[in-house]
Chain A
Amino acid sequence: MLNLPIYLDYSATTPVDPRVAEKMIPYLVEKFGNPASRSHAFGWVAEAAVEEAREEVAKLVNADPKEIVWTSGATESNNLAIKGATHFYSGKGKHLITVKTEHKAVLDTCRELERQGFEVTYLDVKEDGLLDLEAFKAALRPDTILVSVMFVNNEIGVIQPVAEIGQICRDKGIIFHVDAAQATGKVTIDLSTLKVDLMSFCAHKTYGPKGIGALYIRRKPRVRLEAQMHGGGHERGFRSGTLATHQIVGMGEAFRIAREEMDAENAHIRKLRDRLLKGLSDIDQVFVNGDMEQRVPHNLNISFAYIEGESMLMAIKDLAVSSGSACTSASLEPSYVLRALGREDELAHSSIRFTIGRFNTEEEIDYAVKLLHEKIGKLRELSPLWEMVQDGVDLSTVQWAAH
C-alpha cells in the first residue's frame, strides 16, 4: 500500500531512523544526567554516551574525536567556523572567499563580516554548478585568510572539488572551511587526506534528530577560533552550553549507521534516481539543473520548462518536493542557486527538486512518474509560453511587459 503524500524532500530533512530514536530515548528518561556533572554516576553515564557519539561522528569522516565540537546544527557550526576563524586570524588579513551558491548560513555570515569591515569575494559557478578552480585561484589575495566552500550543494546536489581547493589553501596558509551538512552519508569524507581545516555537520540530514550538529576543528596543523558562545567553558571553551545528551547520542548513532550502510544505501538511491529520470525522459523540454557526474545520487533538480514551479507543486501535492520558484518563498525571488548557474530565470521559476532517501521505494518513484506525466500536460495546456513555443515563437525575442 502506498502512503500519500510521498516524501521526496530528504535534503530538507530526513526522518529519524527508528534505530536512532530507540537509542536516544533512555537519555531523556532514566539516563538524564548532565555530562558535565563529574561528581556522580548520572554524569559519568551521560559523559560516556557523549564521548561514544563523538567517536562515531569522528569515524564517519576519519578524524580524531578530539577534533569534534558539538553545536546546535550546521548553521551554528558555519557561524562558529567562519566568524570564529576570521576574528582569530584578523591580524593576518581581512579577505574571505566563498561561492554564490553556498547556503544562506554561510552567505549571511559573510555579509555580517562585511558589515564588520572584512571583504568577501562571492565566486560565480560554472553552468554545471561547479566552482571554476582557475577563477578561484585568481580570486586569492595576499590578505585572504579564509575560504568557505560547501561539499554538496543543497539545491542541485553537485559535489564541489573540495580536495583541490583544500590543497591550494594549504599551500598558501589559508584556513579552509567546508559546509558538509548535505554530504555526510552521501559521499566519502576522509579528513586524514582532505586539506580541510573546519567542517560543519548536522544530524537531521542524515537520519538523526534536528537541533544537533558538530564542527570539526583540525588539530594538526592546529586551527584556532574565537568562541561565539560564552559560558561554562564546555567543549574546551569552543562552545559553552550544557550538552544535549539525547540529541548527541542520536547524532552518533545516525552517523554510525551512515558509515556502515552508506555504500548499499547509495546504490539503492542511485537506482531510484535513475528510474525517476528515465521515467521523465520522454517528456519534452525537461532539463536537469547541475552536473550529473559530480553529483550525489540523492538529488534530481529538474526544470519543466513553461510550467511555473509553484503551480506544479499544487498539481503534484501527493509528492512532498520543493521548488526554486519565487512563489514558494516569501522573497518573490527565484532560487539564487539556479540563477547562479546562468540559466534563464524562467527555468529557475520552473524547477522542482526531488531528493530521494533511505525509505523511498520503487513503487513510490513509479507513482511519481505517473503523476508528473498526468499533470504536465494539463499545466502546459494552461501555459501561454508553451503555446507560443508550439507556434514557433522564440521567447527570448519577445518584448515582455516586466512588472
Chain B
Amino acid sequence: MAYSVKVLDHYENPRNVGSFGKEEEGVATGMVGAPACGDVMKLQIKVGKDGVIEDAKFKTYGCGSAIASSSLVTEWVKGKTIDQALDIKNTQIAEELALPPVKIHCSILAEDAIKAAVADYRKKHGEH
C-alpha cells in the first residue's frame, strides 16, 4: 500500500509515545479498538486545572495509518480545552493524513479515542 508522506513521517517518528503515571493529576485514558480487529489505541490526556489539555500520550497496536492517526491527535489535542478536543472529527484526521478509503476506520478510531479519554476525564472529575 502506498502511504502519504505524512503517514510515513508519523509512523517513522511517532509523536508523544508513552504513558503517564497512573496516579498523575488530571490524567484520563481512552482505550478503543480490539486486538481481534487488528487495532487498539490508547490515548491519554493530561488536563490542567483550567480545563486545558497540557499534554497527551499514546500507544497503538495497529497498522501504519492507525499509528499515524493517533500520533497526530496527540499533537492536535494539546493546548485545546476538552470541549475543543471533542470538535476534532475523523474527516479532518483522514484529510490531514491523506488516508485512502480502506483506512478511514483508523481515523474514526482516533476520534473515538479522544471521546473515550474525555469521557474518562469527566467520569473521574464528576463533570457531566
Contacts and interface: CB of A to CB of B under 8 A. Distances in A.
A403 B36 contact: no
Given A311-B11, A332-B102, A395 B63 contact: no
Given A332-B102, A403-B112, A384 B61 contact: yes
Interface string A373-399: 000000001111111000000010000
Interface in B26-57: 31-42
B82 interface: no
A226 interface: no
B34 A384 contact: no
B61 A325 contact: no
Contact of A346 (B1, B36, B41, B102): B36
Given A401-B34, A403-B105, A403-B112, A384 B41 contact: yes
14 contacts: A308-B62, A314-B63, A330-B102, A332-B105, A349-B36, A381-B17, A382-B67, A383-B59, A383-B61, A386-B61, A401-B116, A402-B36, A403-B105, A403-B108
Interface residues of A, number: 29
A403 B33 contact: yes
A310 B63 contact: yes
A314 B116 CA distance: 28
Contact of A403 (B11, B14, B34, B61): B34
A131 B60 CA distance: 36
A198 B70 CA distance: 51
A325 B105 CA distance: 15
Contacts of B109: 403
A391 to B, nearest CB: 10
Given A382-B17, A384-B60, A395 B67 contact: no
Interface residues of B, number: 33
Nearest to B17: A382
Given A311-B62, A314-B64, A387-B59, A382 B35 contact: no
A382 B70 CA distance: 11
A383 B32 contact: no
A400 B40 contact: yes
Interface string A343-355: 0111001000000
**Interface hub of B32, B40, B108 (most chain A Cβ within 10 A):** B40
A385 B61 contact: yes
A290 B19 CA distance: 36
User: Would you list the 10 A-B pairs with minimal beta carbon distance, nearest first?
Assistant: A400-B34, A346-B35, A327-B63, A345-B36, A384-B42, A310-B63, A384-B59, A349-B38, A402-B34, A383-B61
Nearest to B29: A384
Nearest to B33: A403
B40 A384 contact: yes
B35 A345 contact: yes
Contacts of A328: 1
Interface string A322-366: 000111101010100000000011100100000000000000000
A306 B40 CA distance: 10
**Interface hub of B3, B41, B60, B112 (most chain A Cβ within 10 A):** B60
A397 to B, nearest CB: 12
Interface in B72-128: 102, 105, 108-109, 112, 116
B35 A344 contact: yes
Nearest to A349: B38
B35 A395 contact: yes
B106 to A, nearest CB: 9
B118 to A, nearest CB: 15
A276 interface: no
Nearest to B39: A308
A180 interface: no
A307 interface: yes
